[in-house]
Structure 1
Amino acid sequence: MYSNIPNNGNQQANPFVANKEDEIDLKVLLFNYLQYWPWIGICMFLGIVFAFAFNRYSTPIYQIQSSVLIEDEEASLGMDLFESAGFGGFQGQSNIENEIGILKSYTLAEESINALDLNVEYFEEGFVRTTRRYDNPAILVSVDWNQNQLVEGMFRLEVLNDESFELTIENDEFKIFDPKDPYYKTQPKNQVRLSKSIYNFGEEIRGEDFAFTVNQVSSLAGDNLLFRLVDSPSLALKYREDLAVAPTNKQSAILTLTLETPVRRLGEDYINKLMEMYLQRELGEKNRASESTIEFIDDQLTGISADLQSSESRLQEYRTENQVFNLSQEGSVIFEQLQELEKEKSQTELNLRYYQTLKDYLLSNQSGDLVAPSLIGVADPLLNSLVESLSELQAENERLTSNFTEESPFVRENQNRIANSKRALLENVNSAIANTENVLADLNSRIRMIESDVSSLPETERNLISIQRQFTINENIFVYLLQKKAEAQITMAANMPKNTILDTAKAGQLPIAPKTSLNLLIGLILGFIVPIGFITVKDFLNTKIEDPKELEKQIKVPLIGMIGRNQSEDAIPVLNNPRSSVTESFRSLRADMSYLSPSRDNLTILFTSSISGEGKTFVSINVASVYALMGKKVILLGLDLRKPKIAEDFNLPNDVGMSTCLSSDTDWRKAVKPTGYKNFDVLLSGPIPPNPAELLLQEKFGKILREIKSEYEVVIFDCPPVGLVSETKELFAFSDINFFVFRQAYSMKGNTQILNNLVEKGGVSKIYGILNDVHVDKGYGYGYGYGYGYGYGNNSYGYHEEAQLPWWKRALRRK
């Protein structure tokens, strides 16, 4: 039973009571969810089943890893000089971020893909999933990428025999790859169609925007295979995004390359090829200086070789014609002096040509490869260092521009360094040219002095010295250039990448996805959360009264009792089934009546509700019946003149009743009808009048009611819903106890305000709440079927018969 105990202003609040109420609320909340435990259990089981199926049939993903050691280089002499001179900070260490950018560059990815020939993807269709085939495909598709091709769509191939197959389009989401514009694909203008369906292996399959050939490898008759064409730019972009490159830690110079893919061997091959192309790129950058040197020397040798052959022929012809083979002692001395000076002059002229070439290179703002001065024979350490530094900065600029735009801070900073390096190098070159020209002028002066001594020799010997001198000059230059070319070739052959592959690509033994245990846990959690969330949202959006505890809090009057659901179709279970739990609830309500009204001899009870259908007639009939069982003389008044129902429940004709008595001179005693049960009479509402409200407001109704009270001990009013009609409010003045009936899962929560307004604004006293048709368990002890239905657990002690509950509710009840 429930009652609202008013709080006296002088009474001090008890914190222990509040805590207990909170504890009860938690129990209510818990049991609200526990009543759905079979559905929650089923959802959790389904969650685990779905997670298991996902783990079983999803494509496993493997992680491929390798590592590269990035070697650091000390700053060169030129770098130190520039830094000390204030030209900006030049870093001697390799920039880890730049190396990461190179490894993740589009160009490197495209070179690796082209080297591996990954433009055709093969698949095998399984019962549940389609698996990509990489190693040893059963067929081999050859594609002509020099013409337009259909990419991204899927072809299906069914092998008919060793010579032929049937080709169909499985997925027509094609795009057209144009080799003239490889980075922008277009949609086909027309639907893609094949000229025929049966083809022979090795036959070219050609259409409007495609041309390829399918070759037999190891397929068998009946095999169903899938394949699709993918262009290199798309693959390069995909693998570039999928590849992760990061240092092992902040201080480390070791980079770890990671790729997640469903095909382990493909991932290993791609990363290994990527690292191979990365080292080849680095080696190629190192060899560029040697290649440029060899090219420069070859250009010089082209002219010297012709001059050498010409001078050699002249020398032989002169010796033969004049029978002169050796110089005199004096001529030999002069010739040796001239030879030494000419050799030095030749080297100086070669150096001057190099300086001039280097100056032209700097002034023209070229970005090609520089020839190292040391390879030409220039022994200027500062100049060598400056040229080396400029070469490194230009190589760095190529790396950066392949991964960043011109407006990137990295690119702009590096270009500023290049500009500073060129400016310093140009100043050094101008100085070197001036010095070399001075040296060359001095050598020419010394040569002219020695040439004056040649005039004292005989004419034949003078001519021989001149011809032999020219031959010796060309020979020395030719031999010197050949020596430098050999040195450059040796240097190029000895070049090695400074970076090192520490670990080749290896795949993990177990897939990283799907995560079996985690997915099972997620499935279990979702299977629990989803029904809980659904129940919570359903309860939150539910506008019907469900929880007696919540109803008790919302109304301003005591909730005096609850009536359980009538499991039978009998409208009067109190009289027809006296041992039912519903009957017991009415007995309990009758017992509480003695505390609600001091009058024990005569009692007038009014029943109403907010709307029709909440069970006020059912309650009023059975309350009247429970008093009749006590031996009280009871009469039930049908005051709902608009929608009467009492006659139907007693199978009586509603031909005469209260409306008849109020609208005519008919004595009410003649309108009273026996119900067929001892001590229980009923005065029906009678025919529906046109003015029911006005009839009940007549003084005649009060007179009739006083006569009825004088002859009956208990008078029950079955009134119309107070929320719909107005006459019920006038009837409260004639009753001793008033009951406002709510129906579980039927009455709206907002209807509680109607009852509160009756108390607060209408001044109705001695009104109480009753919850009818209680059948939904919203908390511990509140559900009908647990004994008396009022919180006594399951201790029914055999006093009344309980309705048979479902097995899962009986199992929960035993808990």
Structure 2
Amino acid sequence: MYPNTPNSSNSGQNPFMVQQEDEIDLKVLLFNYLQYWLLILACMIVGVLAAFLFNRYATNIYKVESTVLVVDDKPSLGTDLFESSGLGMLQGKSNIENEIGILKSFSLAEEAVSELNLNVQYFKEGLFSTTQIYDKVPILVSVDWKKIQLVGGRFKIEVISEDTFEFSIADNEFKIYNPADPYYKLLPEEEVTLKKSVYEFGQEIVGPDFTFKVNKISALPGDILQFNLVDTPTLALKYKNELTVGAINKQASILTLGLETPVRRLGEDYINKIMEMYLKRELTEKNKASENTVRFIEEQLSGISDSLRLSENNLQKYRTENKVFNLSEEGAVIFERLQELEKQLSQSELNLKYYETLRDYVANNAAGDIVAPSIVGITDPLLNSLVQSLSEAQAERIRLTSNFTDQAPAVRENATRLENTKKVLQENVNSAISNTRNVVADLKNQIRMSDRDVNSLPETERKLLGYTRQFSINENIYIYLLQKKAEAEITRAANLPKNSILDFAKAGQLPVAPKRSLNLLIGLILGLIVPIGFITVKDFLNTKIEDPKELEKQIKVPLIGMIGRNNAADAIPVLNNPRSAVTESFRSLRADMSYLSSQRGNLTILFTSSISGEGKTFVSINVASVYALMGKRTLLIGLDLRKPKIAEDFNLPNDVGMSTCLSSDTPWQDVVKATGHKDMDVILSGPIPPNPAELLLQDKFGEIVKEIKQAYDVVIFDCPPVGLVSETKELFAFADISFFVFRQGYSMKGNTQILNNLVEKGGVSKIYGILNDVHIDKGYGYGYGYGYGYGYGNNSYGYHEEVQLPWWKRALRKS
């Protein structure tokens, strides 16, 4: 490998080279994760298995749907003029939104739940789960909801015999339902307990906060069942929130009702009941007008019946007493004229009475139901449409205020529409009252003029005409009211809901949940993401040097070489195992020395590190050994006077050494020891002195080094860690080349700053980095013996023992 110099520049790189480097970074990232492929594979299998078990034992949820046709309200004659005029008197109704609000209302849900009697829910225990049963229940629990009951928790029944069962509590999450305050529930002051455990079927079970009976239907001895009590408001609120109502599209007036439930039959029954109560409610609202009309007419009939009976008796009595039965021809003509005028007067007075009642109704802001004008014979289309609009607006307000607050946009819009309708109606009624009074006055004037002709008749005939006239007036009014009552009752009997059910509720054949394929995919993805996330976080929090490429970016000097992990127990693989991959890395480092220094005769090399344990002594020994194998006379000097290690590796006594020479007059030649290998000697550090820093800083050390360089071709300094002691900084001046040793998985990332400070602040030149103990493949082509960037790798051509790549790395290299 040819190292980069500190002054090299990347400014000349072309875009292709930058893109290629980015691609290599992706491969580095991929190799980083592939180291943990077994963990990732195991997590993916666990994720898929967990999803499979969830799918297997999760409760199936089915979608129940039905459709309702909503008939749009057509504007009545006259109301369309106001709606299209832009005056804002009558606002158009959003019929679809109103019907959706009704279907999702709490009151409608409460009515449906009460009709279905869903307050007791039954469950059957299975091996791994408990499922709800609905239609064919083996027991029937009778509850008196007029008394305080425990709701929310769950009771358990185990059938012992044909007549007895064991009663216990399966889930103690109870709340207290009080019928006096049904919408708020309290927690029990203490845990619910049972005084007795065995009961007979049909026997009343009484506790401090519950009272009910358990009746047997088809339960067999050994059956284990559970049930819980749910009050109507809670159930209604639950189903109200779960029911979905929406139009099939924006243009259609067809609503789709949907409910997701684990019990298909229950969902179908509930939606069908909701639609039934919805149509029943609509029909009830529709029949109110007819009922009010009948009530109004009956009130009028009760008064006219007495008058009719009295007038009839008076007429009959007068005829009997005076033996006069028929009017003369002249009297008959006068009678017919008066009869027609009085008939018109009666109708006008009835209309006036209705107008005055309607005026008082509007003026007093009454909220009751009003009679339609057409019922009493008023055919004004505008008045009829205004009364109908007022009635519908009031009914809509009742529906809206039961679900929304007064500040809701729909409620405020309804209030504006109601106020505008009342204003227009009041003006119309006042005008009608004025006109009707004029008509009444005119008719009375005509009657008075006809009364003059009556006075010209004989007294007997005149009195007969009076009795006949009174009877005819009452009879006509009575017959008219009876006719209107019959019409109202026919209308009520013929009323049908304007909306209709298109499709009754039907559950899907396949469950909508759990989504098995999606769950398996989620389990697979989670099994992939979780270990990758764990690895990413672990690497992010890792403070040790792992990646050689990252080390190259962090240090300000070139990274010259990487030394693989020495798996053998021997500390000198270069001499004892010359065909190993570690030995080849030292040969490669020796080859790079010729490019790092211009010295060809004598070469002094210094090795240091940031802390102890990074392998600088191991590197020093083996670099010295690799030079000795070339026939270079090599001397290894141990300068770590505080913690000497070289003696142990060569099995030599550390009795004399460099500390001996520096602290006495002993010549350095006397402390040189043979290593047992040709061309390689060693000067040990010697006995540990009390002042190692002061010894190495003496001028005598420089003189010794000068003499050693003249005697040996290669001199190797094994120095103490520069991050821990200070004297090493002074020793750089004696070396031609210096190396700072890092150890993979051991050296801290922050230690790179020590080397950078030596270069930037300490003025140290000719210093390079070495990564020792490389055994983790963190990148494409960087793991020693696996790549072709450092060392010979897999394609070694017999230079050293070959290392077989894993299958996934061979595949990636081929790609």
Whether the 8 Å CA contact 1:87–1:420 is kept in 2: the answer is: no
Q: Deviations over 1:489-518 (max 9, x none)?
A: 101111122222222222222222222222
Cα separation, 1, equivalents of 2:58 and 2:806: 40
**Matched letter for residue 40 of structure 2:** I
Task: Indicate the residue corresponding to 2:212 in structure 1.
Answer: 212
- Which position in structure 2 is the counterpart of 1:577? 577
* Higher mean displacement: 151-160 or 8-17: 8-17
DSSP-derived class of the 2:294 partner: helix
Residues 415 and 592 (structure 1 numbering): CA distance in 2 closer, same or farther, change over 3 Å? closer
Report SS of the residue matched to 2:404: coil
Matches within 5 A, 1:390-401: 390-401=390-401
8 Å CA contact 1:788–1:796 kept in 2: the answer is: no
Alignment partners' CA distance in 2, 1:22 and 1:791: 23
Cα deviation 1:744-797 (Å, max 9, x = unaligned):
111112222222222233232322221110100011222134389825341234
The AA in structure 2 aligned to 1:543 is T
CA distance in 2 between counterparts of 1:701 and 1:723 reads 22
The residue number in structure 2 matching 1:536 is: 536
Counterpart of 2:358 in structure 1: which amino acid? L
CA deviation vs aligned residue, 1:97-136 (integer Å, no higher than 9, x gap): 2222222222222222222222222222323332222222
Contact 2:781 2:788 in 1 (8 A): no
Equivalent-residue separation in structure 2 for 1:742 and 1:10 (angstroms):
25
C-alpha contact (below 8 Å) 2:5/2:557 kept by paired residues: no
Aligned to 1:369: 369
Structure 2 counterparts to residues 152-191 of structure 1, below 5 A? 152-191=152-191
AA matched with 1:229: L
Letter of the aligned partner of 1:706 in structure 2?
K
Alpha-carbon separation, structure 2, partners of 1:85 and 1:673: 118
In the alignment, is the contact (CA less than 8 A) between 2:83 and 2:92 conserved in 1?
no
Partner of 1:592: 592
Distance 1:710 1:454, change over 3 A: closer
The aligned residue for residue 46 of structure 1 is: 46
- Rounded Cα–Cα distance in structure 2 between residues aligned with 1:10 and 1:424: 86
Task: String of CA shifts for 1:61-119, please: whole Å, max 9, x gaps.
Answer: 22222222221232213414545787624356652222222222222222222222222
Per the alignment, residue 547 of structure 1 pairs with 547
User: Post-superposition shift, 1:342?
Assistant: 4.6
8 Å Cα contact 1:780-1:791 kept in structure 2: no
Instruction: Report the CA distance between 1:680 and its aligned residue.
Output: 3.4
With over 3 angstroms needed to count, the CA separation of the structure-2 counterparts of 1:266 and 1:453, relative to structure 1, is: same
CA distance in 1 between partners of 2:79 and 2:526 (Å): 62
Q: 1: distance between equivalents of 2:162 and 2:252?
A: 56
Matching of residue 123 in structure 1 with residue 123 in structure 2: yes
Q: Distance in 2 between matches of 1:326 and 1:549?
A: 131
Q: Please name the residue that 1:661 is paired with.
A: 661
Deviation at 1:683, TM superposition (A): 2.1
Are the equivalent residues in 1 in contact too, given 2:785–2:792 (CA < 8 A)? no
For 1:337 and 1:720, locate their aligned partners in 2 and report how far apart those are by CA, in whole Å: 141
Measured against aligned partners, the alpha-carbon deviations of 1:352-401 in whole angstroms (never above 9, x if no partner) come to 33333323322322111111122122333443333223222222322332
Residue matched to 2:613 = 613
Higher mean alpha-carbon deviation, 611-620 vs 216-225, is at: 216-225
Contact 1:351 1:378 in 2 (8 A): yes
Contact 2:89 2:420 in 1 (8 A): no
State the match for 2:266 in structure 1.
266
Question: 1:146, 1:179 within 8 Å by CA — same for their partners in 2?
Answer: yes
2:279 aligns with 279
Distance 1:599 1:416 in 2: 102
**Given residue 429 of structure 2, which amino acid in structure 1 is its aligned partner?**
V
Distance 1:803 1:453, change over 3 A: closer
Conserved 8 A contact 1:787-1:802: no
**Cα distance between partner residues in 2 of 1:717 and 1:473:** 140
* Alpha-carbon distance in 1 for matches of 2:305, 2:195: 64
Query: 1:73, 1:94 within 8 Å by CA — same for their partners in 2?
Result: no
Relative to the length of structure 1, the TM-score reads 0.92
Q: CA deviation at 1:615?
A: 0.4
Question: How many Å separate the matches in 2 of 1:347 and 1:785?
Answer: 116
1:487 offset after TM fit, Å?
0.5
Amino acid at match of 2:738: N
Matched letter for residue 682 of structure 2: V
Deviations 1:118-156, CA, capped at 9 Å, x for gaps: 222222232333222222222222222223222222222
Aligned position for 1:604: 604
AA at the equivalent of 1:256: T
- 1:192 has 2:192 as partner: yes
Q: CA–CA distance in 1 between the matches of 2:450 and 2:765? A: 145
Task: Find out whether 1:67 has 2:67 as its counterpart.
Answer: yes
The structure-2 alpha-carbon separation of the partners of 1:413 and 1:691, relative to structure 1 and needing over 3 Å to count, comes to same
Cα distance in 1 for residues equivalent to 2:102 and 2:76: 23
Q: Which amino acid aligns with 2:191?
A: Q
Distance in 1 between the 2:82 and 2:595 partners?
106
Provide the rounded CA distance (Å) in 1 between the counterparts of 2:193 and 2:543. Answer: 59
The equivalent residue for 1:293 is 293
SS in structure 2 opposite 1:183?
coil
Which residue does 1:380 correspond to in 2?
380
Identical counterparts, % of pairs: 73
Residue pairs, 1:480-559, within 5 angstroms: 480-559=480-559
Alpha-carbon distance in structure 1 between the residues aligned to 2:62 and 2:37: 39
Q: Which amino acid aligns with 1:402?
A: S
Equivalent in the alignment of 1:563: 563
Q: Per the alignment, in what secondary structure is the counterpart of residue 738 of structure 2?
A: strand
- C-alpha displacement of 1:172: 1.9
C-alpha displacement of 1:463: 6.2
Counterpart code for 2:647 = A
Q: Does the CA-based 8 Å contact 1:75-1:92 persist in structure 2?
A: no
- 1:700 maps to 700
> Aligned partner of 1:616: which letter?
K
Judged with a 3 Å threshold, the aligned counterparts in structure 2 of structure 1 residues 335 and 194 are, in CA distance, closer, same or farther, namely farther
Q: Is the 2:387–2:425 Cα contact (8 Å) retained in structure 1? A: yes
**What is the rounded CA distance, in whole Å, between the counterparts of 1:23 and 1:469 in structure 2?**
114
Between Structure 1 and Structure 2, how many residues are aligned? 815
Of 673-682 and 165-174, more deviation after overlay is shown by 673-682
What is the CA–CA distance in structure 2 between the aligned matches of 1:713 and 1:308, rounded to whole Å?
149
Q: CA deviation at 1:535?
A: 2.3
Matched residue SS, 2:202: coil
Q: Secondary structure of the residue that 2:183 maps to in structure 1?
A: strand
Please name the residue that 1:639 is paired with: 639
C-alpha distance in 2, partners of 1:116/1:340? 59
| Distance in 2 of aligned mates of 1:51 and 1:800 | 50
1:107-122 to 2 correspondences below 5 Å: 107-122=107-122
Equivalence for 1:76: 76
Cα 1:414–1:78 shift into 2, 3 Å: farther
Residues 809, 81 of structure 1: alpha-carbon distance in 2 compared, 3 angstrom cutoff: closer
CA distance in 2, matches of 1:210, 1:37: 59
The one-letter code matched in structure 2 to 1:567 is N
Cα separation, partners in 2 of 1:596 and 1:362, compared to 1, 3 Å: closer
| SS of 1:182 mapped into structure 2 | coil
Structure 1 stretch 134-143 or stretch 457-466: which is displaced more?
Answer: 457-466
- Aligned partner letter, 2:714: V
Superposed CA offset, 1:534-589 (max 9, x none): 22232222221112222223223222221111112222222333332222222332
Q: Which deviates more, 236-245 or 610-619?
A: 236-245
CA contact (8 A) 1:658 1:668 kept: yes
Alpha-carbon spacing, 1:330–1:17, altered in 2? closer, same or farther (3 Å): closer
Shift of 1:653: 2.9
Equivalent AA in structure 1 for residue 417 of structure 2: R
Which digits, 9 at most, give the CA deviation of each residue in 1:564-620, with x for residues without a partner? 111122222223333322222223323333443444443322111111110011111
Is 1:250 aligned to 2:271, yes or no?
Answer: no
Amino acid at match of 2:216: Q
SS at match of 1:181: coil
State the secondary structure of the residue aligned to 2:571.
coil
The answer to whether the aligner puts 1:650 opposite 2:650 as a matched pair is: yes
Is the contact made by 2:123 and 2:132 (CA closer than 8 Å) also made in structure 1? Answer: yes
Q: How does 1:783-794 map to 2 (within 5 A)?
A: 783-786=783-786, 790=790, 792-794=792-794
1:420 aligns with 2:429: no
Contact 1:782/1:790 (CA < 8 Å) preserved in 2?
Answer: yes
TM-score if structure 2 supplies the norm length? 0.92
Relative distance call for 1:163 and 1:19 in structure 2 (3 A) is: same
Partners of 2:6 and 2:557 within 8 A in 1? no
The unaligned stretches of length 5 or more in structure 1 are none
